[in-house]
Chains A and B, each alone.
Chain A
């Protein structure tokens, strides 16, 4: 397929880099900002998003949670958009009817807004203003810290979130995936505004970000708008510091128990796996579907159909650095958690010893193919998927993903199960109710 020519206005400010699966990559000459454009004219709306390559992976003890707290402060005020002036970011976007938010994860922070197409420039302008113009006032951090602390506390109420945090803290000892994105409580409370500013000044630059526009727009106008607002922002004076910490291999099974008052026990089994960019990632993803998606998935049949668990969730984590392959299940009252653990281990071992059928592989591949097509029903869903891809690998990874998944064979699945589902690489977590369930 031949690409449409690059418009003249854009040629002045942008380099056209490449195109795949309808996604066109440009680079802003003045500062290195990467821009992705994907036309989707399903409706007269568009999603503009900016992904910063900074997440809790870039933090250390003392300022865990800083990326997330900073994300909150980005709603508090910039030179141009400020509550004090009646132009708070959220108020401006809300008045447009935008669907907007920001989220922080291990590998990235993203800001996005889905707006009627005639308001694209407002979204772009807000994000440009956030990139270098955040005010980061101490008087904003103080009340926002307690907001974030309540977010942390809400997470502590959830057995699933508690297990998930403890699982990463146990499976990773050296790599920063050890600490949760929300941060440790004392760090949330203690981090100073100056430290957050320092963090902002290190990571919030055009050369550490990718912008994307997905939806109903004219390319030439879109390039002009992005160039106008982001073009004047200089790239960082210093290089963006890389993360060089590597988690060494796990040399034996690890276990932990959390006991709290409650009615239901939960269990989590997680095996060390690979980084998203690894060639085995598509096979692990297909395996995740075979084990965990739908009533006919293997672990659903083994646990829920057998009335051992209330549900089961399988997560083949896809992160920038090697991550985990996790299974979570709330245990049905009256069932010993050990029985559920044994059953999960047996099913996982069976994949390695007996493999899976070609029909199971085909079903899982079709499910993933359908998910990708469903994504394209809405611009914000495409933006969300593309943001994750950029954070953990690059946008071409997203474009290539359906083909990569389509090539996974039953034999690949058996091989990855044998390679990664080893007892020495396993972390088992139990969340146990402190009191017996009420009669």
Chain B
């Protein structure tokens, strides 16, 4: 076992044990040896998310990412899949979720198969051809998936809330499904090729490998595979201006749904690099991160029995997303559940956290940090996120003390500044009488 193999016990810091290399074209590579289990996890990113697509063609980002592995200059989709699946290895590219900036890269293999995995990773990243027949299949599949999602109360509630809060064209605005289906049906191979040419390149590429590997050998191998790639677009990220809150409510009526979804959301001024980020997430944990122990969970689930699940959270990436509370209810219980939720948020904002809540949340975050770093995948993801947001590898070493340094006053003020119970857009989706 190498010194780094007992990772987060950490006599050796992440900053000292992570090997890194920046290639001439700007690609940033990070490797951490962890020899306990013969596996490797890869986590990475590239700035080619929906923010960089035209406002009425946001789907280009997710379709381009999803089609990368559908064929290269050398191999068909099924040949690529066979190469990985015959080894139990996996590779995925995805754009979407809450971050409009990045495309997520995820991969894993047994360490004996890593060279094959890296060959495929480099091949699909550098020489995808986006075959027309694959795109045609994907268009048909995506239309079905969009329709399937429209049967889900949670999707309908979130989409309606996003339309009320964010104006058309904003990266967080979700257009109506008919418009999105029309966009899917009209997406062309030329558009994908153009988006790929414009947005994919080494300068914003970030790859983190953690596992049973020889770091110098892997860095050399990655340099050999990726060193010749074009630099591509600059890492500059355009940021949309602030959006005013849109208080009000809406009901989306869907028949035959035993459970309804309710979303309370408002724009919140918080990005991941904000110095008050940790203060905000500590406050939110006390309010609503856990259905079992947070204030909203204790009141709305544990005491009143109105929901199976209630959660609140900020969406802080490079862009400031919404602060949202979501819960599921029997339709007849909605009004009582919403009233209880608003009452708890009002009280929380007025009185702040208790001292015990803050210390409990601090120890919880520090402990959870250790627990989450207990697998190759967890470590790779944590390094990736720290570097992606410009916080650096050393952020992982500093994180526990940053959490412990937050005071009650800081957490209360950071939360109160960003969340106002009078400013929620409240959307329910389910079988409500008209």
Q: What is the interface of chain A, defined by CB distance below 8 A to chain B?
A: 40-45, 75, 83, 88, 90-91, 94-99, 114-116, 119, 142-154, 156-157, 159, 216, 260-264, 293-296, 304-305, 307, 310, 330, 332-333, 359, 362-363, 366-371, 373-374, 376-379, 381, 434, 437-438
A109 to B304, CA, bound (A): 25
Say how far B363's CB is from chain A's closest CB, in angstroms: 5
Which residue of chain A lies nearest to B292 when distances are taken between CB atoms in the complex?
Answer: A90
Closest residue to B154 on the A side, CB-wise? Answer: A157
B143 in contact (CB, < 8 A): yes
Q: Which residues of A contact B339 (CB under 8 A)?
A: none
Docked Cα-Cα span, A146 to B88, in Å, equals: 42
Given A43-B373, A90-B293, A94-B360, decide whether A145 and B110 contact each other with a Cβ distance below 8 A.
no
Across the A-B interface, give the 4 residue pairs with the lowest CB-CB distance, nearest first: A97-B367, A370-B88, A143-B305, A97-B368
| Complex: A175 Cα to B371 Cα, angstroms | 40
Are A157's CB and B152's CB within 8 A? yes
Q: Does B151 contact A (CB under 8 A)?
A: yes
Q: CA A262 – CA B155 in complex, angstroms?
A: 14
> Which A residues touch B301, using CB under 8 A?
147
* Interface contact B6-A150, CB-CB below 8 Å: no
Residues of B within 8 A of A371 (CB): 88
Q: 26 A–B contact pairs at CB < 8 A?
A: A43-B6, A43-B8, A43-B375, A45-B371, A45-B374, A97-B366, A115-B367, A116-B370, A143-B302, A145-B305, A146-B333, A150-B259, A150-B306, A150-B328, A263-B150, A264-B144, A295-B77, A296-B82, A310-B144, A333-B144, A362-B86, A363-B85, A366-B88, A374-B88, A374-B108, A377-B41
Please tell me the number of chain B residues within 8 Å of chain A, measured between CB atoms. 73
Per the bound structure, the CA–CA distance linking A122 and B95 in Å amounts to 41
Inside 8 A of A75's CB, which chain B residues have their CB? 292
How far apart are the CA atoms of A352 and B87 in the complex, in Å? 26
Docked-complex contact B330 and A379, CB < 8 angstroms: no
Q: Please give the distance in Å from A9's CB to the nearest CB on chain B.
A: 25
Given contacts A147-B305, A362-B86, A377-B375, 5 further A-B contacts (CB under 8 A): A43-B8, A116-B371, A147-B301, A378-B378, A438-B150
Chain B residue nearest to A297 in the complex (CB): B85
User: Given the complex of chains A and B, what is the CA–CA distance between A114 and B305 in angstroms?
Assistant: 27
A146 interface neighbour in B9, B305, B378, Cβ under 8 Å: B305
CA distance A216 to B8 in the complex (A): 12
Contact check, B259 vs A157: say whether CB atoms are below 8 A apart: yes
Q: Which of A83, A145, A261, A377 contacts B255 (CB 8 A)?
A: A261
| Chain B nearest CB, measured from A342 CB (Å) | 19
Q: Which chain B residues in 356-373 approach chain A with CB under 8 Å?
A: 360, 363-373
CA distance A261 to B137 in the complex (A): 27
User: What is the 8 Å Cβ interface bit string for chain B, positions 141-156, against chain A (1 contact, 0 not)?
Assistant: 1011101101111000
- Contact B371–A98 (Cβ < 8 Å): yes
Closest to B210 in A: A377
- Given known A97-B364, A369-B88, A377-B41, contact A41–B6 (CB-CB < 8 A): yes
Cβ of B39 within 8 Å of any chain A Cβ, yes or no, is: yes
Given the complex of chains A and B, what is the CA–CA distance between A99 and B140 in angstroms?
40
Once bound together, how far apart are the Cα atoms of A157 and B308, in whole Å?
14
Supposing A95-B364, A99-B371, A369-B88 touch, asked if A154 and B7 sit within 8 A by C-beta, the answer is no
Quote the shortest CB–CB distance from A3 to chain B (angstroms): 21
Q: Is the CB of A90 within 8 A of B290?
A: yes
In the complex the two chains form, is A154's CB within 8 Å of B308's CB?
A: yes
Task: With a 10 A CB-CB cut-off, give which of B87, B254, B308 has the most chain A CB atoms.
Answer: B308
Q: Shortest distance in angstroms between A117's beta carbon and chain B's nearest beta carbon?
A: 9
Contact with A along B110-141 (1 / 0, CB 8 A): 10000000000000000000000000010011
CB proximity of B256 to chain A, nearest CB, Å = 4
Please determine whether B86 and A366 come into contact, CB atoms closer than 8 angstroms.
Answer: yes
Contacts of B373 in A (CB 8 A): 43
B319 within 8 A of A: no
**B6 contacts A44, CB within 8 Å?**
yes
Q: Which of A88, A264, A363, A379 contacts B374 (CB 8 A)?
A: A379
* Contact with B151, one of A262, A307, A373, A378 (Cβ below 8 angstroms): A262
Interface segment among B30-38, B56-64, B195-203: the answer is: B30-38
The answer to whether B39 and A143 have CB atoms under 8 Å apart is no
- Find chain A residues with CB under 8 A from B7 CB: 42-43
